[in-house]
Structure 1
Amino acid sequence: MADDTFDPSAPLGPIGDEIIFENEYVRVWGLNLDPGDRQPWHRHDLPYIVIPLTDGDNEMHFSDGRRKPTQEKPGMALWREPGIPHELINRSGWTYRNILVEVKVPFAKAAP
């Protein structure tokens, strides 16, 4: 397992393993993360939805030093805003899989 210290001079990695669909509105990524593996440091510049395909027992490490455990179930839909660089570590004994949908088209936020 690699060191989890963020290096701001290092290039960031991709959002997922592969783009499985893209048009002018969305970009859809697939991600497979084996037990104990970590997704490289990356940043989301667009809002996105994560749809787990397997149970997830993961931990997010952020470039500002924060850590956040995540527990996910297949079929959930998790909305996330763009943010700072982070990596994802699979803490489970199984391969974690998800679909991530980046929203490319700006939208108006609803009034409170």
Structure 2
Amino acid sequence: MEQAIAKVEIENAFCVVTRWTFPPGTATGWHRHEKDYVVMPTISGELTIVQPDGTEVVSSLTAGEPYARTVGVEHDVQNRSDATVEFVEVEIIRPARG
């Protein structure tokens, strides 16, 4: 599969914000999350999550409905659908200090 489009929009001492755009036939490639993170879908659709053991889960994302995961998640996120899917991912480096 082709590489999904990753655009880092913010990178500072406490977070990294990346916009992931998945045209049909694209994927993140294998990766392991080294930080806790929050995902906010911006374009609804279905992505296929391939787990390290080879199992696959089809995940339906709805624009505006966020979810969070903890450090250590390992997977390849693939768009096998005919439509573009997009989300904004916020990786948490440390809590902001007021």
TM-score class, shorter-chain normalisation, is: 0.7 to 0.9
Structure 1 residue runs of 5 or longer lacking an equivalent are 3-12, 107-112
- CA deviations 1:7-62 (Å, max 9, x no partner) are xxxxxx9xx61211011111101111111222211110100000001112111001
Separation in 2, partners of 1:65, 1:83: 17
TM-score normalized by the length of structure 2: 0.84
2:31 maps to a residue whose letter is H
Q: Give the one of 63, 68, 72 matched to 2:61.
A: 72
SS at match of 2:40: strand
The 1:36/1:29 distance shift into structure 2, 3 A limit, reads: same
Separation in 2, partners of 1:81, 1:69: 20
Q: How well do the aligned residues superpose, as a CA RMSD in angstroms?
A: 2.0
Q: Give the one of 79, 85, 88 matched to 2:74.
A: 85
Separation in 2, partners of 1:31, 1:98: 5
Structure 2 residue runs of 5 or longer lacking an equivalent are none
Separation in 2, partners of 1:60, 1:82: 16
What is the total number of aligned residue pairs between the two structures?
A: 94
**Identical counterparts, % of pairs:** 29
1:52 maps to a residue whose letter is P
Separation in 2, partners of 1:101, 1:22: 10
The 1:82/1:66 distance shift into structure 2, 3 A limit, reads: farther
Separation in 1, partners of 2:73, 2:44: 25
Larger radius of gyration: 1
Residue equivalent to 2:90: 101
Residue equivalent to 2:23: 34
